[in-house]
Every structure is written in structure tokens, then in C-alpha cells.
């Protein structure tokens, strides 16, 4: 049985996919160290039993406990960015119920991205999945109303529930071990810097204005079809299409950036939150300087994501035709479409997938 359990809690947009790819591939080496990682790729299904898929909570937690109990590894790791949206008290109750022996043998780490950067990255993330089709400024208003970037209340609650076992780290290159979140996480999990990552961990390139404009055009074509049952397939397409785009070096796309008026509004909105996070979780100025620097990095005017401003009529015609074909494929076999999109290392073998469909 593992001697210690490490929870990697996200946040979203902090290199979680890079960390999980190394864990899943066992692409690391460290003298005298071993890790039990029970997920095929990540533990999002486990984390979602704490927010929406509650009927499967017992099954998933008991299965994970059994896997950890059977392992000869000294360290167990559970990693899912969805924990960002989990109430820490709900997680604590589930652990007390299903893994009581692990409660005093666990550490938790969350990486948090500076406010302005997170706003832009979340906007791109939701745009590529077709979940948000309005402006970056509208995204700021939505995030402010929903508390997405008001970090302090959430981080405080996790600290109240888990105490010193819970650690917050800034997702800022200069603050990470060797400027790499993967190496930083492994140093936390293994309690040493004496390890080697044996697989490339370079993050995908961010989507450009043109990439996002194209994705929005595709999603708008999907939406016009009004097939609401295919929402999950559209999200999956957006996720994996953007992964492929990120793996192909850009030949000159326009970087997505905030305009000055919005950057100033963001700096004003999150000033107090940044001060609290710096004081209570980092012990030094990190997020405040990042926030203050945002207006100086901004451009004068908002960028347009309207396809008509980024593509010719003929390009738009081709993209709409491509979207219509994709919509047809989604509708013909939605479950198989989701399975086929995933990289091989992230999906179940075909025979297992087909058997589960019959069952």
C-alpha cells in the first residue's frame, strides 16, 4: 500500500496535461522512488463524482483505494484539474468515507495562474470548445460575477479544510523549478530534485486569434444545426482540434491579447485578491506585480474574432463545409466519435470500448 497520497488539484490552464502525460507514461526516473498513478490519463472522472456524477462516487473511490492498497509504490498521485471546481469539504468527506487511512498521509498542491493571464487563457479555452461566443471583455464580466478569478476565498477554504497539507504554487515560469511545471510538480511529489523526466514536456503553442476565430466559426455552424444532443461531441472536438493546432508551429498567427482599457479594469478588479494571495499563500509579491504589468503589455484596441475580419468569403465557405461534415460524423455515432478523437494513450482499447457499448 502507498505510504503517502499526493493530490494534484490543477488549476485549469496550468500545464496539467503536461504533468498528466508524464505520469501516465511513467516517463520519469528517480533513485529509490516509485509512484502509483491509477488513471489512464487523469482523474477527472473521479473528481466529477464530487460535483455532478455522484451516483458513481462510491465505485470510483473504492476502486482507487483498492489500486493504491495493492501497489508496492511508496507514493500515490491523483491528478485532475476539475478539483478546482470541487468543494474541499466534499472531498474531505469522501476521503473520510472511502479512504480514511489516507487522510493523514496526504499532501495537496494547486498551481494558480496570475489573473490577467488566466482570463485570456480561459477565454481561449472556452472559445475553442464553443462554450463562450462573446467578447473577451464579456468574459471578464462573467468571470467577475462568477468568482472564477477571485482566488482568495477558494484557496482559503482549501487551507481551512486541509491545513498545512495544502500548498499553493504560482504558475509563473520564474517561480517554477527550471521554469517547468512538470519538474516543479515532481519535486513536490517526490520531495527531491534528484529525478529525470524522460519524455518531452514542452507545452503546446497557444491558439492564435485566427485559430480561435476559425474554431468559433465551426462551433457556430454546429450550433446552427440545433442538435443539442451533440454538445459533448462539440466540446470534445474543440479540445482535441486545439491540441492538434498547438502541436503545429504557427507561421505567423496573431497572439491573443487584452486591450488596454480591459487590462486596466482587470488590474482594478483583482488588486485586493492579488494582495491577499501574495500575503497569505506566497509570502512575497508575485501576483500583484503581474497584475500591475498587465496594462503595459496590452494593445490599444480590442482584437476582432469575427470570421469576416479574419478570413475571405471563400475560406469561410470551406470552413462551413468542413463543419457540416463533422456534424454529420458526430450525429452518425456520437460515442464512437468521442472515442476516436482521443489520442491512443487516452482511450480504452477498441475491443473494450465496443464491449462496454453492448453492455
CB contact set of 351 (below 8 Å; sequence gap of 6+):
none
DSSP 238-284: HHHHHHHHHHS--SSPPBP--BHHHHHHHHHHTHHHHHHHIIIIISS
What is the per-residue pLDDT across 85-143, written as a single tens digit (0 to 9) for each?
999 999 999 999 999 999 989 999 999 999 999 999 999 999 988 889 999 999 999 99
Domains and CATH numbers, the chain: 4-113+171-197 (3.40.50), 115-145+207-255+257-342 (no CATH)
Q: What is the pLDDT of residue 202?
A: 55
pTM: 0.91
Using DSSP bridges, classify how beta strands 75-79 and 196-197 pair: parallel, antiparallel or unpaired: unpaired
Exposed/middle/buried for residue 263 (C-beta within 10 Å: 0-12, 13-18, 19+): buried
Predicted local distance difference test score (pLDDT) of residue 80: 98
**Residue 107: helix, strand or coil by DSSP?**
strand
- The tens-digit pLDDT sequence of the chain (359 residues) is 899 999 999 999 999 999 999 999 999 999 999 999 999 999 999 999 999 999 999 999 999 999 999 999 999 999 999 999 999 999 999 999 999 999 989 999 999 999 999 999 999 999 988 889 999 999 999 999 999 999 999 999 999 999 999 999 999 999 999 999 999 999 999 999 999 999 987 556 788 999 999 999 999 888 766 556 688 888 889 888 888 887 787 778 899 999 999 999 999 999 999 999 999 999 999 999 999 999 999 999 999 999 999 999 999 999 999 999 998 899 898 889 988 888 777 777 777 777 776 65
Give pLDDT, residue 268: 98
**75 cis-preceded (ω within 30 degrees of 0):** no
C-alpha to C-alpha distance for 259 and 116, rounded to whole angstroms: 11
Classify burial at 70, counting beta carbons within 10 Å of its beta carbon; exposed 0-12, middle 13-18, buried 19 or more: exposed
Amino acid at each position: 500500500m502507498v505510504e503517502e497520497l499526493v493530490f494534484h488539484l490543477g488549476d485549469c490552464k496550468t500545464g496539467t496535461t503536461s504533468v498528466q502525460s508524464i505520469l501516465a507514461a511513467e516517463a520519469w526516473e528517480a533513485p529509490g522512488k516509485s509512484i502509483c498513478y491509477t488513471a489512464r490519463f487523469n482523474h477527472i472522472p473521479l473528481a466529477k463524482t464530487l460535483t455532478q456524477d455522484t451516483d458513481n462516487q462510491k465505485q470510483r473511490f473504492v476502486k482507487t483505494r483498492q489500486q493504491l492498497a495493492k501497489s508496492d509504490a511508496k507514493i500515490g498521485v491523483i491528478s485532475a484539474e476539475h478539483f478546482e471546481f470541487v468543494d474541499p469539504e466534499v472531498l474531505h468527506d469522501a476521503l473520510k468515507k472511502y479512504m480514511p487511512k489516507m487522510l493523514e498521509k496526504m499532501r495537496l498542491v494547486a498551481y494558480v495562474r496570475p489573473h490577467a493571464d488566466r482570463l485570456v487563457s480561459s477565454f481561449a479555452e472556452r472559445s475553442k470548445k464553443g462554450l463562450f461566443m462573446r467578447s473577451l471583455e464579456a468574459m471578464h464580466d462573467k468571470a467577475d460575477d462568477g468568482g472564477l478569478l477571485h482566488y482568495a476565498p477558494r484557496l482559503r477554504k482549501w487551507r481551512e479544510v486541509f491545513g498545512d497539507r495544502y500548498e499553493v504554487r504560482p504558475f509563473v515560469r520564474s517561480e517554477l523549478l527550471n521554469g517547468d511545471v512538470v519538474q516543479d510538480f515532481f519535486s513536490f511529489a517526490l520531495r527531491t530534485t534528484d529525478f529525470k523526466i524522460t519524455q518531452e514536456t514542452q507545452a503546446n503553442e497557444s491558439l492564435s486569434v485566427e485559430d480561435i476565430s476559425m474554431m468559433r466559426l465551426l462551433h457556430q455552424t454546429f450550433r446552427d444545426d440545433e442538435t443539442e444532443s451533440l454538445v459533448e461531441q462539440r466540446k470534445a472536438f474543440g479540445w482535441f482540434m486545439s491540441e492538434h493546432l498547438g502541436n503545429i508551429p504557427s507561421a505567423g498567427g496573431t497572439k491573443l491579447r487584452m486591450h488596454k482599457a480591459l487590462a486596466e479594469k482587470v488590474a482594478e478588479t483583482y488588486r485586493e485578491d492579488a494582495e491577499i494571495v501574495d500575503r497569505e499563500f506566497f509570502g512575497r509579491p508575485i501576483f500583484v506585480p503581474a497584475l500591475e504589468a498587465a496594462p503595459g503589455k496590452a494593445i490599444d484596441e480590442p482584437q476582432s474574432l469575427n470570421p469576416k475580419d479574419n478570413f475571405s468569403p471563400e475560406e469561410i465557405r470551406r470552413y462551413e463545409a468542413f463543419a457540416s461534415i463533422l456534424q454529420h460524423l458526430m450525429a452518425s455515432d456520437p460515442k464512437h466519435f468521442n472515442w476516436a478523437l482521443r489520442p491512443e494513450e487516452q482511450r480504452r482499447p477498441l475491443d473494450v470500448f465496443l464491449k462496454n457499448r453492448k453492455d
